[in-house]
Chains A and B, each alone.
Chain A
Amino acid sequence: MTTTDTSQTSGAFGANEATGATGAGAGATSTSRSAPTSLSELERRAAARRDRPSYGHGALIACDRLVRIFTTDGVEVQALQGLDLLVEEGELMALVGASGSGKSTLMNILAGLDVPTAGAAKVAGRDLLAMDAKARLRYRRDVVGFVWQQTARNLLPYLTGAQNVSLPMQLRGGRSSRAKKAARAEELLTMLGVADCRDRRPHQMSGGQQQRVAIAVALANNPSVLLADEPTGELDSATGEQVFAAFRRANEELGTTIVIVTHDQAVASEVRRTVAIRDGRTSSEVLRRTEVDEEGQESLVAREYAMLDRAGRLQLPAEYTEALGMEHRVMLELERDHIGVWPDDEER
């Protein structure tokens, strides 16, 4: 049984006996009992808590109830409202969602450019909330790389392809020689199929080439995560496919975890896992896997799942609720292997 944070808090303050009584957590029970708890008992409980695997243990990216609030002219906008997201190492996944759903905010946070207001976020073992400016800079240098939508904005217009790729290495400093940097740039460009862009400046490349060079730039410092915000947004579908192939290639050859924000259905259907964000929360995800049927035919099976957060909240897809006229409240029924959800039938 999992103890939620809310019941834990109320239990610790001993504010409400009734709340404590309804909860089944250890803290709640301790306050309901009047006998004092011994120190050894407390230590034992704390140790048990510590040793339990934390949320998202083993995942490369773990966002736990992430909240980001923007304040402009005294108006607060809650861009992320307790978002949970786990991404395993080596995964290639897509994030989809309507405009303003919080995708870009999440990307900025993961890229180390923005700091969440509350919650927890860990990428490759680094706590995004606890980093100081120096650690954040190191994080940007070593852990993440990113590709933005505007092809022109990923690259410095006055540097050639190779120079753009070696720029992050230069900015990172370190002792690797010029030749090594050049070799690394060459290698990346070749791997992504844009070796011919080595000595071209961005305005001499096509959009697809620019975006592939941008991927090379993002990979320059061998990051653990590559973030891409609508990388194919400005490209036609054929070119978009090439760019997506480059991502896949980076994922397969370098083992880089890749998170792509996209509107492009083609891209969304290419990846194994697509997470949808709605109103600042992850709402559903689609998992795809190839199944081999009895006749030996391979087919791609996609299944959509709704996300259950750690408080037990569930987002029902809008079309489902509208179809059944669900509003305000629904009826639940726990069955042996599923939970039934019925429209509220009070008035009927």
Chain B
Amino acid sequence: MSAEPVRAVAPWVRTRLRTAPGAAWAFSLLVLVTAFLAAALPRAVDVYETEGLRHDLATAPPRLTVLDITSPPPPPDLARESREAGMRPDQLAKDRAELEKLLPAPLRVDPEESVHGVRTVQRVIGLDPWLPQPYKLPPEFTLTAPSGLAEHATVREGRLPTKADPAEGTSEAAVTVETAKSLRLKVGSVVHVPARFSSTPLAVTVTGIVEPVRSQGGYWSAEPLLRTPVYALKPGGDGTRFYWQAALLLAPAGGPVLLSGTGDPELYWRLAPASGHLTAQDEPRLSAAIASLSGGPGLVKVREAVGRSGAVATGLDELVGAYRSLRAAVAPVVAVATFGIGAVAAVVLAMTGGLFAGRRAAELALLRSRGGSVAGIGVRLLGETGVLALPAAGLGLLLATLALPGARFLPALLAAGAVALLAVAVLPLRALFLHRGPLTHGGREDLADARPSKGRTVAELTLLVLAVGAVVALRRRGTADAGDYLVSAAPVLVALIAALVLVRLYPLPLRWAARPARRLRGAVGYLSLARAGRSSATGTLPLLALLVALTTAAFGGSVLAGVADARDRAALRETGADARVAGNAEAMPLPAGLARAVRGAAGVRDVTTFQVEYGIPLPVGTGRAAETRGVPLIGVEPESYERIARRTGFGPFAASLLKSTGTGGRIDPERVLPAVASPGVAARLGTEPQEIAAAAGTFKVRIVAVRTATPALSGADFLLVNGADLTNRADTALLASGPSLDGGALRKAVAAKSPDFSVALRTERRAAYVDSPMQSGAESIYLAAIGAGAGYAVLAVLLSLLQTSPERATLLARLRTMGLTRRQGRRLLGLEALPQALLAAVGGTLVGWATILLLAPGVDLGRLALSATPGLAGLDGVPLRADPWSLGLPAAGVVVLAGAAAAVQAWWSGRRGSIKELRAGDAR
């Protein structure tokens, strides 16, 4: 009793809350947590989708993201002065300002990394003989006059270029340190490039050597040649002649000089897009803006600004498109978790309402019979729940907003609002439904309704028919075009069907079992079976909650297991074994002793070396496959290679198939080598021996086996022969296996032999797959869904036990007066709870399995697991498979939990006195 004087007229809500503070707190906490989860979910999705978009744009190579707006120089029929005026820095800057203004939202320019200027479209030849000329080929230069060089480069030597004289055909220029080193340029060097209408070449004086600032940014990396010269292969000829490509960075005023050169000058404005302000919801507008710029109203405006031949080129649309398709692939899988967890939470909230209504049935019946109206009682109950639930939901929403900043507020508000609404309304609705008419006094409350009412049967049948119809429709339509939420709701639907059917069916076997159990000596077995068979505790709701929770857990676990599995396989596919050592360029033979050194490295168990030659033209053969693409020829050492293939599971074959013909090293185009080929290659070559001409030798091959994949390469097509039979034998790569392989030691061993060889480790590749926020975000949502689902399942079990606990306490008390020992009491409660728990566990496993079967055709985990990996042979599509651990573990958990709860109750009611339960006249 409180110290303050008690009022004669009780303030309803306050009195109620003070009466049962524990229940009130627990209810508030449940609403708080549920509202938090509900509000956090859409925000978390928003956050990772937004991060995904920003990440995709920020980490994509600048070459793809920049908006490259170009325009040819003013037409030659104009006077030279006006042509040059149109190319001057001030004019270009003015145009740039105009362009930036007309970019449609949500595109925004990152001024730091944007650049404009004049450049040559064609590279021009450096005429000076002192320039490095390997293979007697002169270097080629891109001449460009970029803006803002001073801000993007630090001068290492000399000074920045300032002067240019179009009339004279001279300009000052800067080069990067790398260019200077490779092209042997110094401050003061003069590079001559051909002029168009004059025998006097243009002279470019190097006045400074600069170091790029933020060399990976858009300014330098949109066109990497600006900072890094390329040692390029000359096309045509015998394919082995290399020459240098480099860039000379002219003074800003040097643009007009290019008019007299041969390099087709063009004006360019390379605008780097800013991504920090974009959100996932901007994606459609962003796509529209890019489309408009590359070929729509936006382009018209661009042309108004820069001239009629202005063009816009960008890879941004493809990036955004890839993002969109990833989002579309991930969203339905995430939605499955969302629906599942939402349904469980809703059912648990409904169960709390049911529990409260059940516990207060007597009180409400008294109120109703003393003249409380439906509306009056409803409003009072609404007040009670509202006072608790609304602030709790608000707090949950606030916490979610604080915990996950940078996402939309409205979906979170709606979700938390739905939770609040459900929490507030469920107790009054349930109570009013029970007490819509006043309950007669003195009715018995321990009568189990053996048969549910007709109205209930009809309602359940209707629900069942609807759910079955939805699932059948889903099955017939297929889940591949996951365009709506029917697919995502499938687990809930299947669980609903199972719950409705199982609740009706499961008492039957129990009642049958109770008959023979009657003849047993102990009473406990029969009693518990009989009670479990007639108990009203197994409502549809708790079973539904458990089934949905178990299904969600099974589905989520299977998704996570499938993703992990796909990543393992993809990583293995990429490297071919635990580690792969290959040269940094093609066709570099392994240095002598490298294989032995690798074999000796820590953790290495097996090593195989092989030779790869790419681009072998295939003869027409059977001609069934018309494509004439070059395929890689792989020369292997069959025994060790087969061991690796068997261990990885990628196209193992019997080593004897590739038995050496003993013709190694000989030049003999007529000899026939056995070969293993990919299906594509086999279809092309047919079964007859076909001639192969490769640098490794000319010979005929006969296909002896067809495999879809092989460890040596991750591509789809290959031709595998015994390396010992090749004319020119030179192994180019090696695979090493060993479960506890030490990457550092391996790298050290390889580096000691040659600096040009690098090591790829399976474990490192595996780790690299998880870099996208979309994937890790979706995964963490799954983890959270499994965790929350487990929590709600526990709650559902506890709530259903709580609901019937007074009745069981009475039973125990009565039986104890008849001589039931505590041990027997424990056994009774345990055995009674067991059938329901088993039912939920078995049902949950079945429903989870069925759901995975139902949804598997429509779920491709490939996008979730490996977004950034190009198609790997043998890994097209990662199907969803039922993961036995994910199915079994939560189900076992439910049984254990139910048993534990029963034991605790038996212990608890054994400790308490039983006077209250045995009170005469209490009808319970």
Residues of A within 8 A of B (CB): 73, 104, 107-108, 111-114, 133, 136-137, 140-141, 146, 148-150, 152-154, 156-160, 162-163, 166-173, 178, 181-182, 185-186, 198-199, 201, 217, 221, 229, 233-234
Contacts and interface: CB of A to CB of B under 8 A. Distances in A.
Q: Which of A166, A167, A169, A217 has its CB near the most chain B CB atoms (within 10 A)?
A: A167
The 5 closest A-B pairs by CB, nearest first: A182-B8, A141-B371, A158-B19, A163-B10, A162-B8
Contact of A166 (B8, B371, B373, B450): B8
B603 interface: no
A113 B440 contact: yes
B295 interface: no
A111 B369 contact: yes
A158 B18 CA distance: 9
A220 to B, nearest CB: 9
Contact of B438 (A113, A168, A217): A113
Given A163-B7, A166-B9, A229-B441, A158 B15 contact: yes
A189 to B, nearest CB: 10
A160 B441 contact: no
Contacts of B5: 199
B371 A159 contact: no
A112 B373 CA distance: 13
Nearest to A183: B8
B371 A158 contact: no
B362 A153 contact: yes
Contacts of B167: none
A156 to B, nearest CB: 6
Contacts of B438: 112-113, 136, 140
Instruction: State the majority secondary structure of interface residues on B.
Output: loop
Interface string B420-445: 00000000000000000111111000
Interface residues of B, number: 35
Interface string B329-347: 0000000000000000000
Contacts of B19: 157-158
Contacts of B373: 137, 171
Contacts of B450: 73
19 contacts: A108-B440, A108-B442, A136-B438, A140-B369, A156-B367, A157-B19, A158-B15, A160-B8, A162-B8, A163-B7, A163-B8, A166-B8, A166-B9, A166-B10, A169-B9, A171-B372, A178-B7, A181-B8, A198-B8
Given A108-B440, A137-B371, 19 more contacts: A104-B441, A112-B438, A113-B369, A113-B439, A154-B366, A156-B366, A156-B367, A163-B9, A163-B15, A166-B8, A167-B370, A168-B370, A169-B9, A171-B372, A172-B371, A182-B8, A233-B921, A234-B920, A234-B921
A231 to B, nearest CB: 12
A72 B919 CA distance: 27
A185 B371 contact: no
A113 B371 contact: no
A8 B370 CA distance: 41
Nearest to B377: A171
Nearest to B437: A133
Nearest to B439: A113
A160 B6 contact: yes
A125 B844 CA distance: 60
A140 B370 contact: yes
B176 to A, nearest CB: 83
B10 A171 contact: no
B484 interface: no
B451 interface: yes
Contacts of A199: 1, 5-6
B921 A156 contact: no
B16 interface: yes
B922 interface: yes
A135 to B, nearest CB: 12
A73 B451 contact: yes
B284 interface: no
B8 A171 contact: no
B363 interface: yes
B877 interface: no
Contacts of B20: 158
A215 to B, nearest CB: 13
Contact of B376 (A112, A158, A173, A198): A173
B643 to A, nearest CB: 74
Interface string B880-924: 000000000000000000000000000000000000000111100
Given A163-B15, A221-B371, A233-B921, A108 B6 contact: no
A107 B442 CA distance: 10
B451 A171 contact: no
Contact of B922 (A111, A113, A150, A167): A150
Interface string B1-45: 100011111101001101110000000000000000000000000
Contacts of B10: 159-160, 163, 166-167, 170
A156 B7 contact: no
B9 A178 contact: yes
B739 to A, nearest CB: 66
B366 A153 contact: yes
A234 B1 CA distance: 27
Nearest to A74: B451
B15 A159 contact: yes
A159 to B, nearest CB: 5
Contacts of B437: 133
A136 B368 CA distance: 11
A157 B18 CA distance: 12
Contacts of A172: 371
Interface in B427-484: 437-442, 450-451
A150 B921 contact: yes
Nearest to B450: A73
A137 B373 CA distance: 7
A141 B368 CA distance: 10
Contacts of A156: 363, 366-367
Nearest to B10: A163
Contact of B370 (A108, A149, A162, A171): A171
A24 B778 CA distance: 92
B380 to A, nearest CB: 9
Contacts of B919: 152
Contacts of A111: 369, 441
Nearest to A170: B9
Contacts of A163: 6-10, 15
Contact of B371 (A107, A140, A160, A198): A140
A106 to B, nearest CB: 12
Contacts of A185: 8
A161 to B, nearest CB: 9
Nearest to B12: A170
